[in-house]
Structure 1
Amino acid sequence: MYIVTSEEMRQLDEHTIQHIGLPALALMENAGRAIAEEVFATIQAQPARRAQRWLILAGKGNNGGDGLVAARHLTDMGVHVEIALTEPAGLFSADMAVQHEVAGKLGLAMFEYRPGEIRWEAYDGIVDALLGTGTRGTPREPYATLIREANASGLPIVAIDIPSGLDADTGQTHDPCIAAAKTVALAFLKRGLVQFPGSGMAGKVVVRSIGIPVRLAEERGVRTLLLTERTLAERLAPGPSRGRAEDSHKGTYGHVLIAAGNLRMSGAGLLCVSAALRAGCGLATWALPASLVRHLLGRLPEAMLAGLPDAGHGDWAEVSAEQVLSLAESRDALAIGPGMGRYGDDVQWLRAIWEGAKCPLLLDADALNMLADAPDFASWRKREAATVLTPHPGEMARLAGISIAEAQRDRVGLARRYAEEHGVTLVLKGARTVVATPDGVVYVNTTGNPGMATGGTGDVLAGVIAGLLAQRLTAEQAAAYGVWLHGAAGDRAAAERRSPASMLAGDLLQFL
């Protein structure tokens, strides 16, 4: 499923009207009918049905026009509808003016909104047709007061395309912003509906066709997609089944090397290696400080341990990059960082790994912090093999040299820019994890839950992706599939517990 910006949606609308020949009013008619059907479905879902009275809040633009069409169809469905107009008719867009004239000839009840004059208790629900995807900035009056009144009413609100007050591209919310129970996205998902905090204001999101061909999104260069089972099956084989050939063996599924863990955080390495094996790689070697080996013998009998000289300190300060590169020569993928810690000249150590490793490379946790501290990163030799970075918002902020708040403001845009600029596949973790590729394709994940907001789940994700890289998936496949698989395991784990708050990162392993 494609996800569009407001500008991409405008271009798709224009192309459909100008080159395919579907009139704008026909698209508006389709939109209004779809909205009415979704409102009626909301009414039908209520346990005690009775005659319903709904209020349409109509702005002056085409979003308002969609609302007036919806009002006509709801009336035909037996719903009593009234329309609150926010502006005088002389300010309407051309298509909104047409719909206003039609509604008037049909005798639909319309009135011009005045603050404090609506008796909200007289209605059963609200349709938000105030501000469309092209709107920018904080809602002005009278929209702002009307939005606040609608939210305060406690009535269910169905928003058209996006909740009014929500930035359609970034998901940032202005004050005020409609708190919708349902949002009917027309033709395509808008970016703001799949990024927080906007996703939390949209309620249940339903995408309805209005006549714009879906194939146009691909043809017109839309490169942001919702990461679902269908996306995996159609664009990123293998699909979620992960079948295996009858005549395969452990060598068929690759050998991953994971350099991770120190005396205080050996658990991060253990989770990462366990996840790589659960993701299906045939063999896993865990490179770790030598003094930790005796403490970890038998903890994961399926993994091979490669103790590296640490002068008895249990850290990586004495380990050379050459020792890690030597181990990596015979492996199919290398992951570095979980629980590694910081030490000495670790930035140059990482540069040697970056430039010397011939296999696919994944950087997580402290390896990302090393990278963020590299003032000369732009001069590092470009890697030929795949490179995957898996930052959480704090690490992403350090990589980009911005605040966490700025990093969270437009996750899709930031991830895409960084991936393109540095030639990496970037996994920006968090609610609705974002996967961005070097050629600008972005996937927004649909799996996962708040129970995964606990220490160690990122180590599990790093292991899953590294294990898939070792099985010779491309970076795009491994990152996208790994993120989806990781979230799906979290969903299954949460379903097994009384509360998601009690989940541990290790709970995900048995559900991979």
Structure 2
Amino acid sequence: MYVVTAEEMRALDRYTIDLIGIPALVLMENAGRAVAEEVERIAAVVGRRWLILAGKGNNGADGLVCARHLLEAGLQPMVVYAADPRTLTGEAAVQRDIAAKLGVPCVEYDGAALPWHECDGVVDALLGTGTSGPPRGIYARLVEEANASGKPIVAVDIPSGLDADTGEVPGPCIRAVKTVALAFKKRGLVQYPGADYAGDVVVRFIGIPSRLAEEHGVAVVELGEQSFLARLRVDPAGVRPADTHKGSYGHVLVAAGSRAMSGAGLLAATAALRGGCGLATWALPDSLVPALLGRRPELMLAGVADGGSGDWSRSDPQALLALAAGKQALVIGPGMGRWPGDSAWLRAIWEGADLPLVIDADALNMIADAADFGAWPARRAPAVLTPHPGEMARLAGIGTREVQRDRIGLARRYAMQHGVTLVLKGARTVCAAPSGEAYVGSTGNAGMATAGAGDVLAGVIGALLAQGLSAVQAAALGVYAHGAAGDRAAAGRRSAGSLIAGDIIAEL
């Protein structure tokens, strides 16, 4: 559930050793045995001969323990030392000596060709969370050769070459079929490209109590049933009491759509209904109303005076604020378009709407173009911003590549700086609260990279806010439910690439 940085992991490790009193060698034994058990499952399919690539640090020592357990289980491990084993120190030296006394086969890598063709799999225990920068020298060559071997690779804790905090790959990096994360997932395993290099990630208990993460202020959590129930205090199943009515679940106002992009408004408003609100009203330019009447019978339509333009450029923000009166949430921005002075127009909504806001799409770009956004007054009710990476780049004044470099860190910083809940969309969507807590999505698929999917998410989050959830609860549950609906939709199609936004709505 918890996702940690390398520094947080070191602190938890030291606390367990120094203050709880569990010796480092015990943690190492548990770690190596856990990795060996995962290797055995794969070995049952691919074969018994495994090369254990061991670095000179604690990650390598975990690999040595793994080799011992594989030998005991009847497999044929061979340890490949990346450095002269005589130079090992501390716990690594202890594990070297134990492995030698038990007859674990070993060889020191000197640049000569290894018998890759004779092995059935590889354990990557070269570099752990204590390293930074790309692998160099012998380590880089071993990483490249292991990848080129075509053999399945099981990584110990993180793939060697992966930045444990950001998921960046600055140089050669192991491509694992499975990563055995020890005690907790590292942030780099839940951010791309790291998540792609890690393969299937399994977390194994090694003796560090999981409660220590919360006690030590770990702020990032991966979304799942446990995190919803234990951390967010919300039931993802959404079970409702029998004695309720539509008024029990709130009224959402969706301000969205224009002549060229009316579909965005229809998607967001329909998704709000599917998200469980009791009532939904779609506010749109008045001249568009006749053509859209009845397109979704369950929706109420409210025209906003537009002078016949079919867009929002002539609309009065006070008219929208009047419509928002008595509603429980306002979703604003999908398909709205841009016009001169729109940032000031949005500020009037920001200041005047005394209800939770979901700000998406064009409304995000209005904020990005507002030079004084940092000076906008704090809202009494929460605001949820839902940018994709390009919109986030404009909000933060940086390039998209920089956004993707550390999505968790950037989302947390922006949310804390501006007092908003930020939903940074994309693979492994990040939900960050003003408090600094953050949640990483675990559902969704590449087929959801399609027009309108973000409009659907905005509508769902608005619906959850209208039902009384806090901003971070609504954002996290909305992201999880939206991704799960996309997964169900993709499972029912021949190709995820054929997914459209309406398919996601149908599965909510």
Structure 1 counterpart of 2:326: 330
Note if contact 2:420-2:434 (Cα within 8 Å) is conserved in structure 1. Answer: yes
- 2:448 pairs, out of 442, 452, 462, with 452
Residue 416, structure 1, aligned to residue 430, structure 2: no
- 1:465 pairs, out of 434, 437, 461, with 461
Structure 2 counterpart of 1:119: 115
Note if contact 1:432-1:446 (Cα within 8 Å) is conserved in structure 2. Answer: yes
- 2:432 pairs, out of 436, 439, 462, with 436
Residue identity opposite 1:374 in structure 2: A
- 2:261 pairs, out of 258, 262, 265, with 265
Structure 1 counterpart of 2:19: 19
Residue identity opposite 1:196 in structure 2: Y
Q: d(CA) in 2 for partners of 1:9 and 1:442?
A: 17
Q: d(CA) in 2 for partners of 1:483 and 1:24?
A: 39
Residue 35, structure 1, aligned to residue 35, structure 2: yes
- 1:487 pairs, out of 471, 483, 490, with 483
The structural deviation recorded for 1:361 is: 0.7
The structural deviation recorded for 1:245 is: 2.0
The gaps in structure 2 that reach 5 residues or longer are none
Residue identity opposite 2:152 in structure 1: P
Note if contact 1:65-1:99 (Cα within 8 Å) is conserved in structure 2. Answer: yes
* Helix, strand or coil at the partner of 1:374: coil
Note if contact 2:223-2:442 (Cα within 8 Å) is conserved in structure 1. Answer: yes
Structure 2 counterpart of 1:508: 504
For each residue in 1:396-441, what CA deviation from the matched residue of structure 2 results, as whole angstroms up to 9, or x when unmatched? 0110000000000000000000001111110000001000011011
**TM-score under structure 1 length normalisation:** 0.98
Percent of aligned positions with the same letter in both sequences? 63
Note if contact 1:62-1:93 (Cα within 8 Å) is conserved in structure 2. Answer: no
For each residue in 1:447-506, what CA deviation from the matched residue of structure 2 results, as whole angstroms up to 9, or x when unmatched? 111110100000000000001111111101110000000001101111111111111101
Q: d(CA) in 2 for partners of 1:242 and 1:209?
A: 31
Residue identity opposite 1:207 in structure 2: V
The structural deviation recorded for 1:171 is: 0.5
The gaps in structure 1 that reach 5 residues or longer are none
Residue identity opposite 1:78 in structure 2: G
Note if contact 1:257-1:287 (Cα within 8 Å) is conserved in structure 2. Answer: yes
The structural deviation recorded for 1:235 is: 2.5
Structure 1 counterpart of 2:50: 54
Residue 425, structure 1, aligned to residue 417, structure 2: no
Note if contact 1:181-1:203 (Cα within 8 Å) is conserved in structure 2. Answer: yes
Q: d(CA) in 2 for partners of 1:89 and 1:154?
A: 27
Structure 1 counterpart of 2:221: 225
**TM-score under structure 2 length normalisation:** 0.99
How big is the alpha-carbon RMSD for the aligned residues of Structure 1 and Structure 2?
0.9
* Helix, strand or coil at the partner of 1:315: coil
Q: d(CA) in 1 for partners of 2:325 and 2:88?
A: 67
Residue identity opposite 1:41 in structure 2: R
Residue identity opposite 1:3 in structure 2: V
Q: d(CA) in 1 for partners of 2:245 and 2:233?
A: 21
The structural deviation recorded for 1:249 is: 1.2
For each residue in 1:264-303, what CA deviation from the matched residue of structure 2 results, as whole angstroms up to 9, or x when unmatched? 0000000000000011101111110001001101001111
* Helix, strand or coil at the partner of 1:142: helix
Q: d(CA) in 1 for partners of 2:264 and 2:257?
A: 6
Note if contact 1:158-1:183 (Cα within 8 Å) is conserved in structure 2. Answer: yes
- 2:173 pairs, out of 172, 177, 187, with 177
Note if contact 1:185-1:208 (Cα within 8 Å) is conserved in structure 2. Answer: yes
The structural deviation recorded for 1:240 is: 2.2
The structural deviation recorded for 1:90 is: 4.3
Aligned length: 508
Q: d(CA) in 2 for partners of 1:91 and 1:456?
A: 58
* Helix, strand or coil at the partner of 2:52: strand
For each residue in 1:235-269, what CA deviation from the matched residue of structure 2 results, as whole angstroms up to 9, or x when unmatched? 23432221222221111111111100000000000
The structural deviation recorded for 1:101 is: 1.2
